[in-house]
Structure 1
Amino acid sequence: MRKKDEIIQAIKEKDRRDKVYIHPVLSPEKAAKYISAFSNSNGGDIILGIYDDGINLHIKKSKFPIRLEEAKKLLDININCIVDKVDYRGELIPYISVEKSKELVKFRGIPYLVNENGAVVEMKVSKVFLSYSHADKDLAELVEKSLDKQNDISVSRDINVNNYRDDLDRFMKTIKQHDFIISIVTRKYLMSLNCMYEITESMKDSNFSEKLLFIVVDKEDAQYYKGNNIYDMEAGIYDADKRLDYIIYWNEKNRKMDEKLKSADLPYEYITEYTLDKRKLVSIITSTSEFMNILKDKIGSTFNQIQKDDFKILKDVIKKK
């Protein structure tokens, strides 16, 4: 929060950095938008009773009450700010000083920020879907924790395909609503029915190649697993023999399911229960090789390499969108 002396000095110097001068009226809606923007940026001050013509500041009397409580009700969370007055050349100048927030502050569901030109603009929040095997949840938690520090990145994970058993198109629509997909590629990831279904269905998106970010896990990354969670996680996607092993694995899974369904000789109404898993398998078989070739050709970084700089390489790509 700025001290009174700092507010007075800002007026004297016509300082517009993280400040806005308002005359004649500050509506609750306008106040809420500025508070959201300053909260999501570096903090700032709303100074009333001063007209800013873009060159000079003109001191005016502020005759209207500050309806701060009404403005706060338009925000999604409580914010830290103060209302006070300074005596400037015999005039009492009211102001609202807003502190930078650790959480994203939205006005009517929309977050705002102050851009490099000092203008209040709607914040673009990039939606990221984190795709991983639950065997690798320790890594996923580290990625999510780091990305969650960024106000302009929203991370979702654990979208359960089984919740969409009767509507796979709705499932894919949910995934497509994300701007990026981060895949944590391990051996169990490439052998997980749900993980591979997520990713191979996502490949049908024409922008998939641009949306895909991935981390290739190797043996060095075992240090990031907790205790008993450590396993032989290395995917080996740069080894042609291992890539072939995954293709054989999924073909064999499909063959065994066909055999079991045939042997079970179930009535039609019971077979439908297995339709989703069968559809997943067919999708995976036709796309697994292509997916692994994408990974092989792009040459991703290991978890250890990316984690060392707090996943900066991922954040930079996401923020450029």
Structure 2
Amino acid sequence: MTLQEYAVKQIGLPESNRLKYEVLLPSNIEIGKLICAYANTAGGLLVLGVLNKNKTISIKGLSDDFRVDMVVNNSLMKISPPVKIERGFINYEGKKLYIIKVEKANEIVTYNEVQYEITYKTIKKVTFQKVNNNTNITEKIMPYADKLDAILKFLLDNPKRINVNKYTIREVFANEISLSEAEQLIEKLKETKYVKSYNDRYIGMSIDTAVFLEDGGFSGKSPNSLQSSIKSIFLSYSWKQKEAASKLYNFLKANGYNPSMDDHNLAYKDKLSTFMESIRTSDYAILIISDDYLKSANCMTEVLHILNERESYSRILPIRHENVKIFSSSDRMKYIHFWKTQFEESTAVIENLDRISTIEESKKLKITSRIYHDIGDFLITIADMITFTIEKEEEVLFSNLLDYMERE
């Protein structure tokens, strides 16, 4: 039976542990987990291009533009051992659907070194069996495995620290966790033999910490992968795009990343140093380029500094709002002309002010002048990097951004 014939018999049936519909392309992480879960249970079928809402199944079709094969390939690279699948586009009711058929595996399969299974249509992480030989890892520990390993790695890197408390733990995670969560992590570590407890207030490295991490720690990952297991991402955007930025922030947070947002509320002098430090210390910086962004002195001053930061620039992921056009010379000239006008107006203002009053305006003129002279080169560079709009990325659950970051 061909893949087309098999899929046609399944499409229209209600979703189950062996059948799932998606109207758009999920991220490679979601696809990887589902393939892994299918392989560990009874196999299954994923149909892309079908909307399942209120128990009504609608055939919508899936565009070739989604680059499904690339996303699936990225998922399969992290699945071990390899699983038997069939995949590809089929024609159904005049629409193109993408089908992924997964066979049940004869041994335990993992995605990104984690085992998954599917129960009542829900994908669940399985308590380590084959993945990790540390039999004392319990379900209570598992949800915190990566964070606990990160703390152990910190203790290993700082062997003389015997006064690590909840405040220290927050700093380990760039203050992205609450004090109560930090306390909770410390208490969970105290229940194991992998840290020492001092006066029941502080923790430090024990004689078992290093060996435990070498064996894979709580997460089953090698020590070298611990630092990169949670990627930090900095979001830069104009205030009018805060809603779109917030959606992206929440999505990244929910998918295991460590995002931070630039709120554009600080004064320029304070904010620039904060921005550049965030760029330097983050794995990636996502710039939501909009019309407002390109006309904002603060936004443009920030982003033009990246051009002088070679390492930082390589980690920039620009994505445009649908209201901005920068791909033709005439489109780019509009922004060059805008900043030329700003520069000329600032110059005219200074000529009519006394010496004392011109100090602050001179600073603004210097900023405006640099933007005016550099924005043309910046727009050409950014235009070559941008592929999709933020609106398009929302539709495909930011899969293109995730794919890029996962490949690196």
Shorter-normalised TM range: 0.5 to 0.7
| Residue of structure 1 equivalent to 2:70 | none
- Does structure 2 conserve the Cα–Cα contact (< 8 Å) formed by 1:130 and 1:183? yes
Paired letter, 2:311: N
Q: Secondary structure at the match of 1:304?
A: helix
Q: Secondary structure at the match of 2:343?
A: helix
For 2:141 and 2:257, how far apart are their aligned partners in 1?
13
Which of residues 39, 45, 59 in structure 1 aligns to 2:144? 39
Residue 134 (structure 2) pairs with residue 20 (structure 1): yes
For 1:40 and 1:298, how far apart are their aligned partners in 2?
36
Residue 388 (structure 2) pairs with residue 282 (structure 1): no
| Residue of structure 2 equivalent to 1:308 | 395
- Does structure 1 conserve the Cα–Cα contact (< 8 Å) formed by 2:294 and 2:335? yes
For 1:259 and 1:136, how far apart are their aligned partners in 2?
32
Paired letter, 1:17: V
For 2:396 and 2:388, how far apart are their aligned partners in 1?
12
How far is the alpha carbon of 1:250 from its aligned partner?
A: 0.2
Residue 254 (structure 2) pairs with residue 149 (structure 1): yes
How far is the alpha carbon of 1:161 from its aligned partner?
A: 5.5
| Residue of structure 1 equivalent to 2:383 | 296
How far is the alpha carbon of 1:282 from its aligned partner?
A: 2.2
- Does structure 2 conserve the Cα–Cα contact (< 8 Å) formed by 1:126 and 1:319? no
- Does structure 2 conserve the Cα–Cα contact (< 8 Å) formed by 1:161 and 1:171? no
TM-score (norm 1): 0.59
| Residue of structure 1 equivalent to 2:103 | none
For 2:280 and 2:340, how far apart are their aligned partners in 1?
27
Which of residues 211, 222, 237 in structure 2 aligns to 1:132? 237
Which of residues 279, 282, 294 in structure 2 aligns to 1:178? 282
What is the number of residues matched between the two proteins? 230
| Residue of structure 2 equivalent to 1:164 | 269
Q: Secondary structure at the match of 2:254?
A: coil
Q: Secondary structure at the match of 2:332?
A: helix
| Residue of structure 1 equivalent to 2:324 | 235
Q: Secondary structure at the match of 2:134?
A: strand
Q: Secondary structure at the match of 2:370?
A: helix
| Residue of structure 2 equivalent to 1:267 | 355
CA 1:277–1:160: 2 relative to 1, 3 Å: farther
How far is the alpha carbon of 1:41 from its aligned partner?
A: 4.6
How far is the alpha carbon of 1:131 from its aligned partner?
A: 1.4
Greater relative contact order, per chain length (Cα 8 Å cut-off, separation 6+): 1
For 1:115 and 1:271, how far apart are their aligned partners in 2?
61
Between structure 1 and structure 2, the one with the greater Rg is 1
How far is the alpha carbon of 1:279 from its aligned partner?
A: 2.8
For 2:306 and 2:141, how far apart are their aligned partners in 1?
34
Q: Secondary structure at the match of 1:135?
A: helix
1:93-112 deviation digits (Å, cap 9, x = unpaired): xx97xxxxxxxxxx98xxx9
